[in-house]
């Protein structure tokens, strides 16, 4: 299988925040943003693997900035690293100033998807070939995040989390 760049899986969803999607402070409801990010990330994982993909875990979400009613929200997802059957997808969320059009980063998240066959069994995916400095940085740290996620899910033992142990040595 030929390696693919993160750019090849890039997926951009742009949409508005409507009244039914907000919390009592008139900001975007967190669950709605999680769903938008899941959708974009799942399309990115499909573009990378050309397979059916399922969300295996949400590794990190930072709701660092509220997204007010009426905002134009852009969710950008790219596969940052692929392992055997799983893919880490990085998601950046931007909001756009109505008058200037200037974009500011509002949130970010990291999801893990697994490519599966028609019966739901995991199948191999192509490798990722990072190009930009940011893509290389995200690629390099992805194994550490995978081990942390597996450790928290109780799927590996602390001794097997080699990348995490290295942090404390």
Count of residues engaged in binding ligand COA, rule: CB under 6 A: 18
Does 1 contact ligand COA by CB under 6 A? no
Interatomic CA distance for residues 139 and 7, integer angstroms? 13
Interatomic CA distance for residues 73 and 162, integer angstroms? 38
**CB 38 → ligand COA: shortest distance, Å?**
8
**CB 115 → ligand COA: shortest distance, Å?**
9
In the range 122-141, which residues lie near ligand COA by CB under 6 A?
122
Specify the DSSP element, H or E, that contains 12. strand 11-16
Cβ nearer to ligand COA, comparing 67 with 150: 150
**CB 114 → ligand COA: shortest distance, Å?**
4
CB-closest chain residue to ligand COA: 83
Does 85 contact ligand COA by CB under 6 A? yes
In sequence order, the β-bridge partners of residue 72 are 16, 96
- Residue 123 tokens, joined: 């199948």
**CB 58 → ligand COA: shortest distance, Å?**
9
Interatomic CA distance for residues 51 and 74, integer angstroms? 25
Site string for ligand COA, 33-72 (x = CB under 6 A): ---------------------xxxx---------------
**CB 15 → ligand COA: shortest distance, Å?**
21
Give the chain's length: 169
Contacts of residue 95, defined as CB under 8 A and 6 or more positions apart, other chains included, come to 65, 67, 71, 72, 73, 74, 103, 104, 106
Nearest to 75 by CA among 120, 40, 112, 123: 40
Q: Which residues bind ligand COA (CB under 6 A)?
A: 54-57, 83-86, 112, 114, 116, 120, 122, 146, 149-150, 153, 155
């Amino acid at each position: 299988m030929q390696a693919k760049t993160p750019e090849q899986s890039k997926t951009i969803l742009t949409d508005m925040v409507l009244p039914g999607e907000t919390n009592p402070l008139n900001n975007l409801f967190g669950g709605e943003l999680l769903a938008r990010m899941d959708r974009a990330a799942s399309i990115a994982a499909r573009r990378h693997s050309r397979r059916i993909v399922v969300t295996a875990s949400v590794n990190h979400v930072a709701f660092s900035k509220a997204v007010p009613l009426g905002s134009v929200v852009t969710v950008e997802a790219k596969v940052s690293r692929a392992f055997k059957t799983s893919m880490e997808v990085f998601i950046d969320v931007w909001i756009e100033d109505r008058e200037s059009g200037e974009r500011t980063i509002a949130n970010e998240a990291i999801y893990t998807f697994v490519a599966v066959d028609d019966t739901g069994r995991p199948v191999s995916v192509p490798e990722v070939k990072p190009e930009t400095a940011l893509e290389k940085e995200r690629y390099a740290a992805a194994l550490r995040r995978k081990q942390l996620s597996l450790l928290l899910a109780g799927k590996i033992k602390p001794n097997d989390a080699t990348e995490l142990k290295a942090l404390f040595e």
